[in-house]
Structure 1
Amino acid sequence: MTKSEIAKLFSAGKFEECYPHLADLSIWNIPGEQYLLGKPAIQEYCDGVADFFKTVTTHFNALNVIENDKCVSINGTAEFIKDGMTFSYVSSCDVYEFDSNNKILSIHSYCVSHDTA
């Protein structure tokens, strides 16, 4: 699997498919919210997010994917719907750093919530 394929899956909330591609000492930094160190901590957090995703309808839209030898950046939007109503709309950017074996070394996620009223 390519770096951009891995990053696209993770950014779209398909975490389990990405677990084999996390380095043991990966970090996931979500400024102002979470700083996770190590594959087990990231997987535990992802499992909780995945459980939440099961309770809502989500629409992810990747707008741009930029890749170089070591990094992939994805910006896009996410809409969260429950009972037919949008309750959250987010613009985001995820920046992934990979090692030479296409394992994720770090993820930096930046999210901005928009008013849905």
Structure 2
Amino acid sequence: MTDLSPEKIARAFSSHRFDLAKPHLAEDIIWTVVGEPPLIGRKSVKKAIERTADGLATVTTEFQRFRTVVGEESVVVDSLARYTGSDGEVSIVASCDVYDFDGDGCITEIVSYTAELPQ
């Protein structure tokens, strides 16, 4: 495991660099994408991010906004991304991810808010 700060771990996860963030998932992590049932446990979250990574393999991602707010035990990442598929289809998504960390620097909970915006 690398010695990354909670901010760097959160930024990695939110920018789809899941390999950097995966070692920092708590065993009992809960990830809630608002409006969907929560994913509970490291195994469930890893499967979800592997599916996401596979889906993004042929997509170009350009972050038009990417900022973090760091608290004592939480990090918030606010982003606006433009996704362009291999077929040229474009999707613009605003998202906000709220990460909670334990004392060992592992993510214990993620709450994600996402909205696809008109172009």
| TM-score (normalised: structure 1) | 0.92
CA–CA separation in structure 2 for the residues paired with 1:62 and 1:99: 27
How many residue pairs match? The answer is 116
Closer/same/farther in 2, CA of residues 15 and 112 from structure 1, 3 Å limit:
same
**Deviation for aligned residue 1:35:** 1.3
Alignment CA distance shift 1:83-1:51 (3 Å)? closer
Q: Secondary structure at the match of 1:101?
A: coil
After TM superposition, the structure 1 = structure 2 runs for residues 9-88 of structure 1, keeping only pairs within 5 Å, are 9-83=12-86, 85-88=88-91
Q: Which whole-Å deviations, capped at 9, do the CAs of 1:56-99 have from their partners, x for residues lacking one?
A: 11113443211111000010111110247352101110000000
- The answer for unaligned runs of 5 or more in structure 2 is none
| CA distance in structure 1 between the partners assigned to 2:65 and 2:76 by the alignment | 10
Relative distance call for 1:35 and 1:100 in structure 2 (3 A) is same
Report whether the alignment pairs 1:7 with 2:42: no
Paired AA for residue 83 in structure 2: F
Cα gap change, 1:54/1:109 in structure 2, threshold over 3 Å: closer, same or farther? same
Give the share of equivalent positions with the same residue, in percent. 32
Match of 1:110 in 2: 113
Structure 1: 4+ residue segments shifted above 4 A: none
2: CA distance between counterparts of 1:113 and 1:58? Answer: 14
Q: 2:93 aligns with which of 85, 90, 97?
A: 90
> Deviations 1:20-53 (Å, cap 9, x if unpaired)?
1000000110011341000000000000000011
Runs of 5+ unmatched residues, structure 1 = none
